[in-house]
Chains A and B, each alone.
Chain A
Amino acid sequence: MRIDDRATLADLACGAAFLGSGGGGDPYYSLLLAEAAFARSGGFDLIAASDLDDDALVAPCGWIGAPTVSVEKLPNGRETVTALRRLEQLTGRKIAAVMPVEIGGGNGLAPFIAAAELGVPVVDADGMGRAFPESQMVTFNMRGLSACPSVLTAACGSLAVIETQDNLTHERVARGLSVALGGIAHMVEYPLTGAQAKRDAIQGSVTSAIAIGAAIRHARAARRDPFTALADALKATGLYPHCQTLFDGKIVDLERETKGGFSIGKVIIDGFGDGGRMEVLFQNENLVARQDGKVRAMVPDLITIMDRETADTITTERLKYGQRVKVIAAAAPAMLREPAALAVVGPAAFGLGHDFTPIERLNQGEGA
């Protein structure tokens, strides 16, 4: 599938924002970057992992850092290509394709610039199926693959090659480097073989994001309910088989603090009329939603807060007192619900006192 038009990119940005589950940063700047790359180099091909040779070299790409910094310290534009060239030197191989390491938020669009400029395809897959706050929260780590060698680059031209024994140490080193380089950096990590990309990545997430964005766009144009369109589109992807509007209300309280370098907090939403009260806890991404004390959704299922009129995703950094929102939950891709995955990205991994229960069980009989 050839992608070379603004409308498809905009759909992808909109869908990726939803899949970010409140995190991953606002994809607006990523969208502008991709449009600029398209203007220079044309578009790129989106291919299925099954189209790759088993021994092909696939490079997952993404940004690591603070979303608030990323809106002020903008990319130079050479970060991704420079890192990919170094990975080729390190491995002695040509890169056959790139892939977003996380589909959620701005990172869902991160590899497109390099794809357009290098003329390599983008694989229709990613390692998270959504957004997560830490780099080891990725299917490749869950399946026992190594993040290294990874290459971290920054706008100033600095480049670091990271080699660690384990993926958690890799996250800590990369996090420290990103802070030293001004709070935002680009990273090529978890270099994959074609066989690994087929087996260990979440397939179809890029086309799913495009379909979600297109559904919302068409609904808005036809003045139909964008949330119904969103739910239908999610189910149609096959990746996100259940979707539920958990709540509709107004933000009446917002508590945010920084612990361990993360934005941790909760938002309280009061329903319209006598609709009760919902509390959503977050660590960069939304982790758990409780209504009047009862859990309605939890990580790794997706919980996204959206503007109730426009269906624009509101990331956790942009939540504000008084916003009128809907809280939407979607089932995580099946790979994230496996026991080995839940150990890395389930409620326990975030210190929540719950065993994972899927949204379709938590909301039995509630209707879609």
Chain B
Amino acid sequence: MRIGVDVGGTNTDAVLIDGRRVVASTKQPTTADVSSGVAAAITAILGQVSLSPTAITSVMIGTTHFTNALVERAHLDRVGILRLASPSGEALPPLTGWPAALVDQIGGTLFLLPGGYEVDGREISPFDAAKVRDAASACRDQGITSIAISSAFAPINAAMEEQAAAIVQAEYPEARISLSHAIGRLGLIERENGTILNAALTTLAGHVVTSFERALRDLGLNAPLYISQNDGTLISAAHAARYPVMTIGSGPTNSMRGAAFLTGVQDGIVMDVGGTTCDIGVLVNGFPRESSIAVDIGGVRTNFRMPDILAIGLGGGTRIHLDPALYPAERLDPASLTVGPDSVGYRITSEAYLFGGATLTTSDIAVAAGKASFGDPSRIPPLSAPVRDGIWTRIQAMLADGVDRMKTTRGDATIIAVGGGHFLVSDSLKGAAQVIRPPHADVANAVGAAIAQIGAQIEQIVDYATTPRDTALARLREEATARVVAAGGAADTIEIVDMEEVFLSYLPGRSAQVRMKAVGDLASPATAPAPAEVQHAH
């Protein structure tokens, strides 16, 4: 049996899953130390079914902790930054374009060193071991233990980054090193940015992962711990401690994956309705569709794989702006009505009319219209039927517009409504072939964490003139599959879920940049390698 935990800003949700069945679930407040909230949630679900901790085979945690640290600029390390690409790239040193405050906080010291590769595999300039050693000792002298190393075209040849890491580690054993090829795709600046952010999170990641592990140990849980990453797949706790940046963005991913699992729907649209927003994402082949636009994290440009989410300001606590004098009107003048985007948020339980407050919210309308049943309907001020239905129709139009903007295929889509405010999505929503509200919809996040898979992605530039396309793609498929197995995936479940091929302009022959992603179910504990041995799964 598996436990899935979602550590959000407000609530820590947990579910217990037996095979494909959710057997227990809970919502607990998130605590400042994180670990006691996690412990409380796990204790609650184990108590619900009177289960011994030894029956648990694995624990998966999704957390927004590292995202928050970057956004709030708290608990970040200073970073020693090595780039192997000179003389190329000297015009754009690391940290170019970063917010000045963040540079002051984590920008330790920069080293532009010879090395790196050309697109055709030649060296830009020879590797210089002595200069790498000098950089390591300079970092040691300044007391900087978090080191970020990047090199030109490292995603297609990582040898120099690994060589540099070995030298730094030998010279400076306390150093904790982040390597760019393990973190990002082609695009040196964005990949290097992600590597530096990752290095800045090193100490915090160690603390958070250790506190998760301590919480589990104190509960008598010996099951391996996995952390969910941005793309809905898992990494070992040990790996997350080294590569925390891979976990940012896992929240929306988990809720979409959870929705897919709870319904069995592989292709459709997920609407996760919270108190303030409705996050709309598209499931393609059971996975969230990724964003095409560069992703800014804490003001820094990165190229991480992130789910493509449209957030609209419409949730269960969203305010309805309409002059109370018009509540009993015989018809609703559309120009007099505004829905949101402001929300009472978590204060809904005191401020909404149906909880004794004095604010008209979407929840009041849903209850008044008979679409949901909670709170005290008698406290909602009298609304004429045309006004009540007019507001409800407006809410549906906003949701339908969001769905239409996210749809990739013509025709009506299957909609999965999850989250605490899912009742706002009407069964007859325009553009919906059907609206599915699975049981446990309110903890879809934790379900998504519990059922996540092992994934691996590779990216390479291939010349089809020298290697036939079929042969090259078959080789890449094998390599992606091998990486999933190395990361703990069960070999017989692995499939390629995404393939992208970009031909390179102006280069002779038929050179293409191929990106391939493979996923598989987590192997049973008997066959899975121990977390410490898990290979990086980018």
Contact = CB atoms under 8 A, between A and B. Distances in A.
A32 B293 contact: no
Interface stretch (A196-204, A233-241, A250-258, A289-297): A250-258
Given A75-B92, A76-B89, A183-B119, A261 B188 contact: no
Interface stretch (A86-94, A139-147, A305-313): A305-313
Given A182-B124, A183-B120, A157 B87 contact: yes
Nearest to B465: A258
Contacts of B410: 270
Contact of B189 (A29, A69, A317, A318): A29
Interface stretch (A50-58, A211-219, A319-327, A329-337): A319-327
Contacts of B125: 156
B120 A182 contact: yes
B338 interface: no
Given A29-B189, A257-B503, A320-B292, A74 B91 contact: yes
B90 A71 contact: no
A72 B502 contact: no
A109 interface: no
B408 interface: yes
B87 A156 contact: yes
A310 B125 CA distance: 40
Contacts of A100: none
Interface in B73-120: 85, 87-93, 96-97, 116, 118-120
Contacts of B502: 68, 256, 317
Interface of A: 28-29, 32-33, 35-36, 64-69, 71-78, 113, 133, 155-157, 175, 178-179, 182-183, 250, 252, 256-258, 261-263, 265, 270, 272-273, 284, 307-310, 312, 314, 317-318, 320-324
Nearest to A274: B410
B500 interface: yes
For A68, A307, A321, A323, the residue with the greatest tally of chain B CB atoms inside 10 Å of its CB is: A68
A74 B501 contact: no
Interface stretch (B204-212, B327-335, B371-379, B507-515): B507-515
A310 B310 CA distance: 12
B292 A76 contact: no
Nearest to B408: A322
Interface in B484-519: 500-513
A49 B108 CA distance: 46
26 contacts: A29-B92, A32-B96, A33-B91, A33-B92, A35-B97, A36-B96, A68-B504, A69-B507, A71-B188, A73-B124, A74-B88, A74-B91, A75-B89, A156-B125, A175-B506, A178-B506, A179-B508, A182-B118, A183-B118, A250-B408, A307-B293, A314-B292, A318-B292, A322-B282, A322-B408, A324-B406
Contact of B504 (A36, A263, A273): A263
Contacts of A74: 85, 88-89, 91-92, 152, 188-189
B97 to A, nearest CB: 5
Contacts of B513: 68
Contact of A75 (B91, B186, B289, B512): B91
